[in-house]
Amino acid sequence: METTPFSEELIDSHLLVDVRTPLEFEEDHIPGAINVPLLTNEERVEIGILHKESGPYAARRRGLELTAHRFPEMVRYIADSAAGRPILVYCWRGGLRSKTVTSILDLAGLKAIQLIGGYKSYRHVVSEYFTPYLPKTPLIVLHGMTGIGKTTLLQLLKERGNSVLDLEGLACHRGSAFGQLGLNQDLTQKRFETLLWDACRKAPAGQPLILEGESERIGRVSLPGDFYQKMAQGIRVWCHATLETRVQRLIDEYGLPAYKDEMGDALQRIRKKLGGKRCEELAGNLERWEMDEFMKGLVCDYYDKVYYKNRTWEADYQLDMEDFDHAAQELERFLAQRSAG
């Protein structure tokens, strides 16, 4: 049976088969992998208890009883999914589960390889990638007050062929007190790190990488290694727009009746910073659906006092964000001049 250590090239050349349980797979998995669990979540618990109480022989016999009838269907599904590609099989640490499935695939005449060290060896690669993080190209970091529209600009820049990293999109959170509205941040820290690693490795080496300035924490997940510190050392672009523009953009993004209850809950979470009286005033605006007053109050009395209030650094470039198309063109011009100079 053939084995191999992990490398990035395997992701692009092989069908990756994760034979861990659905729960393990959901927590995180190698990019592009499919889940073909040898054991269910409950069966893995049962086997673990049996191994501890009665030893490996009893556990292996029980494992065979539970799984043998599934082998033909597993082989068919994996073969169909591979569509002629070589197959890489992994479990938690390159043990019996992946060895079993790799052997069965070999017996069925399929070219299958077991990953040495399993998922654990892959996690080591991801952790090392961010400690330290060594960007392949300059980081262009967009900063600016809430409501500027940095995420919208990033999407436009991507459509125009620029290299973009959407941290909030990867984290499923907008990175603010109201950042969870309409989103479900149910991914784990490990999953976030995998998504970030995969996006970074795929970024073109010949283009600056444009991303939004974020806190070290984005909702419940954190930027890994020294990624945050490397962002702070990037090329800083300060984005600005009028208060009226920012308020309207917040209304356009958040001002949906379906978000009303969530906005009320988020408002109460920042009650201490707003002060009880101001919080109740804004709660009244929200209840009467006075979105202009509500959003203006959040911007002036919360966001602008909390975010960037201690900014001591000078921006490398000032970007007017009143018009997104114009802003994209101006940023591209700045980057081209910087590259040429």
Catalytic annotation, residues: 91
What is the three-class DSSP state of 153?
helix
Distance CA 40, CA 23 (A): 9
Measured in whole angstroms, the distance separating CA 228 from the mean position of its chain's CA atoms is 15
What is the CB-side half-sphere exposure of residue 199 using CA atoms within 13 A?
18
- Provide the residue count of the chain: 341
Q: What is the DSSP string of 34-102?
A: EE--SS-HHHHHHHHHHHHHH-HHHHHHHHHHHHGGGHHHHHHHHHHHHTT--EEEE-SSSSHHHHHHH
What is the three-class DSSP state of 137?
coil
3-class DSSP string for 176-244 = CCCCCCCCCCCCCHHHHHHHHHHHHHHCCCCCCEEEECCCCEECCEECCCCHHHHHHCCEEEEEECCHH
Reference 230, options 320, 321, 129; nearest CA is: 129
